[in-house]
Amino acid sequence: MTHIPVLLKETLEHLDVKTGLSFVDATVGGGGHTEEILASNPTAKVLGIDLDQASLDKLRSKLTQEGLGQRTKLVQGNYRDIDRILPAQGWDKVDGILLDLGFSSLQLDDSARGFSFSSDGPLDMRYDSQQRLTAEKVVNQYHPSDLERVISEYGEEKLARRIAKAIVEARKKEIIATTAQLAEVVKSAVPLPIRFKANDNIRRVFQAIRIEVNAELDNLRATLPKILSLLNPNGCMVIISFHSLEDRIVKEFMVAESKDCICPPEFPTCVCGKASTLRILTRKPVTAGEEEIAANPRSKSAKLRAAAKI
Asked if residue 204 and residue 121 are part of one domain, the reply reads: yes
Q: Are 255 and 274 part of one and the same domain?
A: yes
Rg (CA), the chain: 21
Q: Please write the tens of the pLDDT for every residue from 261-284.
A: 888 888 888 888 889 999 999 999
Point out the domain boundary residue: 155, 185, 214.
214
- The per-residue b/e assignment along 13-50, b for 16 or more CB within 10 angstroms, e otherwise, is bbbbbeebebbbbbbbbbbbbbbbbbeebeebbbbbbb
This prediction's pTM: 0.90
Residues 118, 205 within the same domain: yes
Residues of the chain with pLDDT under 50: 1
Q: Are 117 and 182 in contact (CB under 8 A)?
A: yes
- Whether 168 is in a domain gets the answer yes
Residue that is last in its domain, among 163, 185, 214: 214
Say if 133 falls within a structural domain: yes
Distance of CA 220 to the CA centre of its chain: 8
Q: Indicate if 198 and 289 belong to the same structural domain.
A: no
Beta strand residue intervals within the chain, DSSP E: 22-25, 45-50, 72-76, 94-100, 231-241, 278-280, 303-309
So what's the pLDDT on residue 270?
Answer: 85
Q: Confirm whether 156 is domain-assigned.
A: yes
Cβ contact 217:150 at 8 Å: no
Judge whether 16 and 309 are in contact, CB under 8 Å: no
Please say which residue of 197, 214, 231 terminates a domain: 214
Q: Are 307 and 278 in contact (CB under 8 A)?
A: yes
The answer as to whether 3 is a domain residue is no
Which CATH number fits the domain that encloses residue 94? Answer: 3.40.50.150
Which residues make Cβ contacts (< 8 Å) with residue 90, sequence separation at least 6?
A: none
DSSP string, 147-186: HHHHHHHHH--TTHHHHHHHHHHHHHHS---BHHHHHHHH
Domain boundaries, position 95: 8-106+216-309
pLDDT at 61 (0 to 100): 95
Is 1 inside any structural domain?
no
Q: What does the pLDDT read at residue 148?
A: 98
Q: Do 98 and 243 fall within a single domain?
A: yes
Let me know whether 223 and 102 are in one domain. yes
Residue 243: predicted pLDDT: 92
**Which CATH number do you get for residue 207?**
1.10.150.170
On whether both 305 and 243 belong to a single domain, the answer is: yes
Query: How far is residue 166's CA from residue 178's CA, in Å, rounded to a whole number?
Result: 16
**116 with 207, same domain?**
yes
pLDDT at 1: 46
Assigned domain for 289 exists: yes
Q: Are residues 210 and 220 in the same domain?
A: no
Q: Which amino acid is at 39?
A: A
Burial environment of residue 88 by CB neighbours within 10 A (0 to 12, 13 to 18, 19 or more): exposed
Residues 147 and 201 both lie in one domain:
yes
Number of domains making up the chain = 2
DSSP alpha helix (H) spans, 235-278? 244-257
172 and 49, same domain (yes or no): no
In this structure, the answer to whether residues 60 and 195 fall within a common structural domain is no
Q: What is the b/e burial string over 236-247, where b = at least 16 CB atoms within 10 angstroms of the residue's CB?
A: bbbbbbbbebbb
